Chains A and B, each alone.
Chain A
Amino acid sequence: MDFTYTETQDMIRDTLARFLADTYDFETRQKFINGDTGRDPAIWTALAQELGMLGAAFAEEHGGLGGGALENAIVMEELGKVIGIEPYLPTVVIAGGALKAVGGAQADAIIPEIIAGNAIIAFAYAEPQGRYDLANLKTNAKKDGAGYVLNGHKSVVYAAPWATHLLVTARTGGGQRDTDGVSLFLIDAKLPGIVRRDYPTVDGSRASEVYFENVAVPGDALLGSEGAALPLIEQIVDEATVATCAEATGVMQKLHEGTLEYTQQRKQFGVPIAKFQVLQHRMVDMFMEVEQARSMTIMGTLKLGLPANERMAAVSAAKAKVGRGANFVGQNAIQTHGGIGITQELAIGHYFKRATMIEGQFGSVDHHMDRYERIVLAD
């Protein structure tokens, strides 16, 4: 048992933090998220090619640094600290995770492209009727010769407007909510018949409604075995959930620090409002939520390799605790700032918006408490 980071991990964190401090200050971020494409592609390229950061979590045989979930957590936490909109989560954590799990020719072909910064992969899994149920799918892929024909509608696909590839969950058999018959495809985002409706998200990113209209998909786009991909999808979504907890920790830390700083400057009744004990205790409660989010992220990350049930219980415990904490820290950061907190002017409100979206990402607190109970507290 060991709860310390390696020197390499410390170095990854420091390098990334320095780079983001230089390139991702709040004004710069606001400028490019409000621009036409909503991003600055040079940042992604630099992350890949100058810092080698997109390879941190990949094996050396693919050109990576040999890391895994801990490295993903480190990168996501640092991105959280700058409310970064870089598509690291869908590209590296989710699609990269699926490719690592599946291996073979697909991994050999795509992982180097991810590491080089050439591939951006969006995760098209949610559907209008499905809520957080990964198996509730109307999107279907029908066998057609050596390939498939894909039809359906995917909701709120973050990073889809920027994507070179889409990672798509679809039914190849079974009824709408069956656990069997679910398959996973990695496809070119420009295939004929893919129609996108792009839009900005409230937390500064870009997403799309993605429609598949008789899209002809080659047979080698299938990841894993046909009709039996749900366990793999659950695994990569758990990995993504913990990575999102890491991002949340970074966001929450900044919400807390920003609040500390502001209350020491803002004067009312002739004194900095940080002198008021009621606010001090509130900020201590925020601090405790940040620290517990950090602890739960580590817990969840370290348990990703356990058998499915233990992994799911751990991930749900982490997300439930972090979701609640993100809500508490975000709301209290705004409350403590007062009126200025509800304007677009300060960074604090933008951190709050991201924290709020994280609460529901990959499942609300209630969703994860339900899943935790089903596994741990069965009658």
Chain B
Amino acid sequence: MDMEFSPEDLAFQQEVRQFIADNYPAELRGKQDEGEELSKEDFLAWHKILHKKGWIAPAWPVEYGGTGWTPTQRFIWSEETARADCIRLMPFGLAMVGPVIYTFGTPEQKAYFLPRILSGEDWWCQGYSEPGSGSDLASLRTTAVSDGDDYIVNGQKTWTTLAQHADWGFFLVRTDKDAKQQEGISFLLIDMKSPGITVRPIITLGGEHEVNEVWLEDVRVPKSQRVYEENKGWTCAKFLLAHERTGIAGVAASKRGIEKVKAIARTELDGDKPLLANPFFKRKVAELEVDLTALEFTELRSLAGANAGKGPGPESSLLKIKGSEIQQRLTELTLEAVGHYGAPYFRGFGEGDNEHPIGPDYAHRAAPTYFNMRKTTIYGGSNEIQRNIIAKMVLGL
């Protein structure tokens, strides 16, 4: 057991650092610094650069387009991208449906979908939650009825993140109404341009259009777009959720977030001293750092276990719980740090805007981000559901 980087690792770190410095889009950097909401093109710009370099999917097996990096190199990669404040890549294709397809998909599905996920040609969204099925996901009621070589899908999905941009969606649907809840579900890949699909925005507390309702009315889906066996979709769903939860720890991004909070608290004044000199504020920052260190080393231990042949297991629930709590505390400290200038509502730059928004740049999105990040303890299985999972799967209760 050791934490040393080998000379090869250090060279790799240097290579990554240089690559980001040379290639990260300047326009995107500018928007991030101003605190503007990012467009589909913004997200895809960085994605396409990484794809061209061959670094878009470090976690994938090499045969499907992964990088073949060692765990240490992957650690360095996530550290360096966070350090340079690179935007987070959209997880729906790369981290969610991609692994499901290469694990459970047919050769045809792999050949068609995987390269398009890697290139960014297809934007994916996730059709899981329904108005009546949140934490109790298996109670979902969207149906897929067999009709020759197709299914006819009817129902409603909700909280579908960035579905307004999506080319494809992966959906959990009920294919057997009489089976026990988890056993009658199938996993379908659906073209979002199919007739019968309607996407309606849901505006969240920060004013963002991030999530949507998706209505499916007599949507015809070829059976060749079902992943894995009929009525066995729950297997894919569980696999995906465990994968989703490890990424959710967000250690590197939270480290970067703490540096930002510290920078703000060194700029903002409290009396005649920087806010960071206030012992109460300072203690909150320190405690957050300590908790983040505990999360980081728990994740490193978990990765070491995963490399020893154990996939992400129920302990990933721990990473989700602690990771999301830390992300929220970070937004809370940021909002506290900016003081008065948390209040002005910045709608982003419209056409022809040339006035600088109210308050310092770092304050523009403090409150919207605080509001928005309440989602982290709710999505991906709420933190209460995660505790149920640990109680059952780890503690055997």
Q: Could you list which residues of chain A lie within 8 angstroms of chain B, going by C-beta atoms?
A: 1-6, 9, 70, 260, 264, 274-275, 277, 280-281, 283-285, 287-288, 291-292, 294-296, 298-299, 302-303, 317, 320-321, 369, 372-373, 376-377, 379
Q: How far is the CB of B322 from chain A (nearest CB, A)?
A: 7
Q: A2-B1, A4-B308, A302-B3 are in contact. Are A284 and B387 (CB under 8 A)?
A: yes
B286 contacts A4, C-beta separation under 8 Å = no
Whole-angstrom distance between the alpha carbons of A321 and B288 in the complex? 11
With A1-B9, A281-B387, A376-B289 in contact, is A292–B294 under 8 Å at CB? Answer: yes
B286 with A287: CB separation less than 8 A: no
Asked if residues A287 and B276 are in contact (CB atoms below 8 Å), the reply is no
8 Å CB interface, B272-323 against A:
273-274, 276-277, 282-283, 285-287, 289-291, 293-298, 300-301, 303-304, 308, 315, 318, 321-322
CB-CB under 8 A from B298, the residues of chain A are 291-292, 295
B293–A296 CB distance below 8 A: yes
**When chains A and B are docked, how far (Å) is the Cα of A274 from the Cα of B392?**
11
What separation, in Å, do the CA atoms of A6 and B1 have in the docked complex?
8
Q: A313 CB to closest chain B CB, in angstroms?
A: 9
In whole angstroms, how far apart are the Cα atoms of A320 and B2 in the complex? 22
- Which residues in A have their C-beta under 8 angstroms from that of B3? 1, 302-303
> In the assembled complex, which residues on chain A have CB atoms less than 8 Å from the CB atom of B295?
292, 295
A369 close to B294 (CB less than 8 A): no
User: How many residue pairs, one in A and one in B, have C-beta atoms under 8 Å apart?
Assistant: 114
Residue B388 at the chain A interface, CB threshold 8 Å: yes
Measured CB to CB, the closest approach of chain A to B354, in angstroms, equals: 37
The smallest C-beta distance from B317 to any residue of chain A, in angstroms, reads: 9
B300 and A3 contacting across the interface, CB-CB below 8 Å: yes
Q: Which residue of B lies closest to A264 (CB)?
A: B397
B71 at the interface (CB under 8 A from A): yes
Minimum C-beta distance from B210 to chain A (A) = 29
* 0/1 interface trace, chain B 1-19, chain A, CB 8 Å (1 if under): 1111100010000000000
Closest CB-CB distance, A328 to chain B, in whole Å?
13
CB proximity of A369 to chain B, nearest CB, Å: 6
Asked if B262 lies at the interface with its beta carbon under 8 angstroms from chain A, I say: yes
Since A295-B300, A369-B286 are in contact, a sample of 14 more A-B pairs with Cβ atoms closer than 8 Å, ordered by chain A residue number, is A1-B72, A2-B1, A3-B300, A3-B304, A274-B397, A288-B318, A292-B298, A298-B297, A317-B290, A369-B283, A376-B286, A377-B286, A379-B273, A379-B276
Q: A281-B384, A369-B283, A372-B286 are in contact. Are A299 and B297 (CB under 8 A)?
A: yes
Taking the closest CB of chain A, its distance from the CB of B333, in whole angstroms, is 13
B358 at the interface (CB under 8 A from A): no
- Is B391 an interface position by the 8 A CB rule? yes
Q: A1 to B390, Cβ gap below 8 A? A: no
Q: Assess the B1–A5 pair: CB atoms within 8 A.
A: yes
Interface centre among B273, B276, B282, B297 (most CB of A within 10 A): B297
For B394, the chain A residues whose CB sits under 8 A away are 287
Q: What is the distance, in angstroms, from A374's C-beta to the closest C-beta of chain B?
A: 10
Contact assessment for A287 and B390 in the assembled complex, using a CB-CB cutoff below 8 Å = yes
Distance in angstroms between the alpha carbons of A189 and B75 in the assembled complex: 50
Report chain B residues within 8 Å CB of A296: 293-294, 297
User: Taking the nearest CB of chain B, how far is it from the CB of A153, in angstroms?
Assistant: 33
Q: 26 interchain pairs (CB within 8 A)? A: A1-B2, A1-B71, A1-B72, A2-B1, A3-B1, A3-B301, A3-B304, A4-B304, A6-B1, A264-B397, A275-B397, A280-B388, A280-B397, A285-B387, A287-B395, A288-B318, A288-B321, A291-B298, A295-B300, A299-B293, A317-B289, A321-B290, A369-B290, A373-B283, A377-B262, A379-B274
Pairwise interchain contact B287-A369, C-beta atoms closer than 8 A:
yes
CB distance from A282 to the nearest CB of B (A): 9
A172 to B322, CA, bound (A): 48
Q: Kindly list chain B residues whose C-beta atoms are within 8 Å of the C-beta of A291.
A: 298, 315, 318
Residues of B within 8 A of A320 (CB): 290
Name B291's contact: one of A1, A6, A299, A321 (CB within 8 Å): A321
Chain A neighbourhood of B287, CB < 8 A: 369
Contact of B282 among A6, A285, A373 (CB under 8 A): A373
A196-B290 Cα distance, complex, nearest whole Å: 40
B282 partner residues in chain A, CB cutoff 8 A = 373, 377
Q: Are B395 and A280 in contact (CB under 8 A)?
A: yes
- Which residues does chain A contribute within 8 Å of B274, judged by CB atoms? 379
Collect the chain A residues with CB atoms within 8 Å of residue B5's CB.
1
**Could you say which residues of chain A place their CB within 8 Å of the CB of B273?**
379
Most chain A CB neighbours (cut-off 10 Å) among B273, B308, B388, B390: B390
Query: If the complex has contacts A281-B391, A284-B390, A299-B297, are A3 and B290 also in contact, measured as CB distance less than 8 A?
Result: no
Taking a contact as CB atoms under 8 Å apart, the answer to whether B285 and A377 are in contact is yes
Smallest CB gap from B317: residue in A:
A284
| B2 close to A302 (CB less than 8 A) | yes
B1 touches A70 (CB 8 A): yes
B75 CB to nearest chain A CB (Å): 7
B residues in contact with A284, CB < 8 Å? 387, 390-391, 395
Taking CB atoms, residues of chain B closer than 8 Å to A274 are 397
**Within 8 Å CB of A3, what residues of B?**
1, 300-301, 303-304
Q: How far is the CA of A86 from the CA of B47 in the complex (A)?
A: 57
Within 8 A of A (CB), among B1-51: 1-5, 9
The answer to whether A260 and B395 touch across the interface, beta carbons within 8 angstroms, is yes
Interface string of B252-273 (1 = CB under 8 A from A): 0000000000100010000001
A113 vs B3: C-alpha distance in the bound complex, in angstroms? Answer: 33
Q: Which residues of A contact B396 (CB under 8 A)?
A: 260
Residues of B within 8 A of A264 (CB): 397
Q: Which residues of B contact A6 (CB under 8 A)?
A: 1
For A288, the chain B residues whose CB sits under 8 A away are 318, 321-322, 390
Q: Which residues of A contact B276 (CB under 8 A)?
A: 377, 379
Would you call B290 and A372 a contact (CB within 8 A)?
Answer: yes
CA distance A321 to B262 in the complex (A): 21
* Residue in B295, B296, B304 whose Cβ sees the most chain A Cβ within 10 Å: B304
Q: Which 6 A-B pairs have the closest CB atoms?
A: A3-B304, A295-B297, A280-B391, A292-B294, A295-B298, A1-B72
- Chain B residues with CB under 8 A of A283: 391, 395, 397
How far in angstroms is the closest Cβ of chain B from A203? 25
How many angstroms between the C-alpha atoms of A70 and B277 in the bound complex? 36
A327 to chain B: closest CB distance in Å?
A: 14
Closest residue of chain A to B70 (Cβ to Cβ) is A1
- From residue B374, how far is it (CB to closest CB) to chain A in Å? 20
Question: B293 to chain A: which residues have CB within 8 Å?
Answer: 296, 299, 317, 321
What is the minimal beta-carbon distance from B253 to any residue of chain A, in angstroms? 19
Minimum C-beta distance from B289 to chain A (A) = 7
Contacts of B1 in A (CB 8 A): 2-6, 9, 70, 298, 302
Is B300 a contact partner of A373 (Cβ separation < 8 A)? no
Measured in the bound complex, the distance between the Cα atoms of B295 and A296 in whole Å is 9
- For A287, the chain B residues whose CB sits under 8 A away are 318, 390, 394-395
Q: How far is the CA of A34 from the CA of B119 in the complex (A)?
A: 71
**For the complex, what is the distance from the CA of A4 to the CA of B305, rounded to whole Å?**
8
For A322, give the chain B residue with the smallest CB separation.
B294
Cα A15 to Cα B387 in complex, Å, equals: 34
What's the Cα separation between A280 and B282 when bound, in Å? 34
